[in-house]
Amino acid sequence: MAWHRSQLLPEWEHTAPLPADLTHLGEARLALALCHREGRIREAAVRRSARHPGLLPLIVIRCADWAEPVRERAQKLLRQALDAGTAVDLAPLILRVGHRDRGTFGIELLEEVLGRAPRGRLAVLFAHPDRTVRRFAYRLAVEHRLLCPAELAHAAARDQDTVVQDLCATAALTSLRDAEGAYDKVLTPLLTARSPRTRSAGVTALRRAGRPEQAEPFLGDRSALVRACARYVVRQHGDDPAPWYRKRCATPDDPGLPPGAVIGLAECGNRTDAGLLWPLLAHPAAGVRARAVTGLRALDLADAERLRPLLDEPAPAVVRETTAALLPSAKQLPADWLLERTGSERPRHVRVAAFRLLDAHGGVVALRAAVRLLEDPEVKLRTWAGQFVQRWHPPAEARRGDAEVGELLDRNRHLFSEHVLRRRKGEAGLDG
């Protein structure tokens, strides 16, 4: 369908077209002119906008205009109008426009203005909800050394953005001067931060601070990154972390045993340490039991018969780790035993685990389980089961002409087109 050019114009150009002379236009009409399709009108509007501070956001946008006269005029006006206060207000927009072609001017001007502004002005941006703004503000603060090491460390511990965390933690540790007092003020917030990346930076800094003994408690941290950094610090001090792990895991009913110590033993131990991990499968804490399974899998010692009872665990984390450990040996598990655990009376995490293992098991029994789960009360399980039925193919070793396969496919013919259903039956040696 062909469109007339007038039909493509904005509504306001039909109802209230702009005059040729923009001298006496008010702010609202100038805002429309700044958005006009014709470059000469946008340029004229920029010239008339100096007396209207409320139009500065549109001037920021015009600073990246494709038309060079408009762009140059807008950049000149923005340079004249931008002070510390307006820079803080316009920072989110300037940074967003800065990602456009020809948008770097605004970011450079923003850095220039805020770089010489009082520190209090920049502090407003440290708590901005937009992480792009916070990243810009902290980069500027680090570049101009506006924050002391302790303030940077607290920022790294407080902010949720990993880029800000890394930036501030690195800057805090790099800018340290006073070995004792400064380290105390910097390391405490880093070591107690929620973010693993920030904690790992603090743990690594313990070596330079000459406090490797403080890294020992972090050997059992919940984060693999922090544990690895702690082991590095301990080894650089000449010690072996493995005995620490073995000592912590030697008491299988210790209620204070951190799960990180259990998986840490597998990370730096050897296959003989499985003797310490097997008893932990009966530990009262689900996190410890789950990590014990993970450790056995990491050591390639996941015995299917010994781990199989854990699929009935009430703790979903334990069942998830057990399932991951059993997947390589799924065909060794009794298919009927797994099928029984897909019943609706079982907890959801048990049904999911059983079906994952049956999926890996393959064959008719997996198709049987999927058809059963098509009536499951859980929507996600029903969807997953339907997708499995649609992609199921009879394995090469399956008995051809199995009537059960034909019955299961016919019961769910709504999942297939007639052509695909006939082809699937043909693969199984059945008549379409």
Residue range 189-209, pLDDT digits in tens: 999 999 999 999 999 999 988
- Model pLDDT, residue 6: 44
The arithmetic mean of pLDDT across residues 248-265, rounded, is 93
* Calpha distance 430→432 (Å, rounded): 6
To the nearest whole percent, how much of the chain has pLDDT over 90?
56
* pLDDT band per the 50, 70, 90 thresholds, residue 414: confident
Q: Tell me 18's DSSP state.
A: P
The arithmetic mean of pLDDT across residues 51-63, rounded, is 90
- Model pLDDT, residue 8: 42
Residues 258-287 pLDDT 10s:
999 999 999 998 999 999 999 999 999 999
* pLDDT band per the 50, 70, 90 thresholds, residue 30: confident
- Model pLDDT, residue 219: 96
- Model pLDDT, residue 93: 94
Q: Is the dihedral of CA 244, 247, 252, 254 positive or negative?
A: negative
- Model pLDDT, residue 32: 81
Pick the closest to residue 293 from 272, 274, 314, 312 (CA basis).
274
* pLDDT band per the 50, 70, 90 thresholds, residue 427: confident
- Model pLDDT, residue 181: 56
* pLDDT band per the 50, 70, 90 thresholds, residue 43: confident
- Model pLDDT, residue 50: 84
Q: How many CB atoms lie within 10 A of CB 86?
A: 16
Pick the closest to residue 209 from 227, 186, 229 (CA basis).
186
* pLDDT band per the 50, 70, 90 thresholds, residue 11: low
- Model pLDDT, residue 179: 44
- Please say whether the beta carbons of 262 and 277 come within 8 A: yes
Q: How many CB atoms lie within 10 A of CB 107?
A: 16
Q: Is the pLDDT of residue 72 over 50?
A: yes
* pLDDT band per the 50, 70, 90 thresholds, residue 5: very low
- Model pLDDT, residue 21: 55
Q: Is the dihedral of CA 173, 177, 180, 186 positive or negative?
A: negative
Q: Which amino acid is at 340?
A: E
The arithmetic mean of pLDDT across residues 167-185, rounded, is 77
User: Which carries the bigger pLDDT value, residue 399 or residue 246?
Assistant: 246
Q: Is the pLDDT of residue 223 over 90?
A: yes
Mean pLDDT of all residues in the chain? Answer: 88
Q: Is the pLDDT of residue 329 over 70?
A: yes
Q: Which of 40-54, 146-160, 176-190 has the lowest mean pLDDT?
A: 176-190
Q: Is the pLDDT of residue 376 over 50?
A: yes
Q: Which of 106-120, 280-294, 416-430 has the lowest mean pLDDT?
A: 416-430
- Model pLDDT, residue 348: 93
Structure tokens at 364: 């008719």
Structure tokens at 236: 């650089």
Q: Is the pLDDT of residue 99 over 70?
A: yes
Q: Is the pLDDT of residue 24 over 90?
A: no
The arithmetic mean of pLDDT across residues 174-179, rounded, is 65
* pLDDT band per the 50, 70, 90 thresholds, residue 13: low
CA–CA distances in Å: residue 421 to residues 395, 402, 405, 412, 416: 16, 15, 12, 10, 6
User: Which carries the bigger pLDDT value, residue 51 or residue 160?
Assistant: 160
- Model pLDDT, residue 7: 44
The arithmetic mean of pLDDT across residues 383-394, rounded, is 87
Q: Is the pLDDT of residue 341 over 70?
A: yes
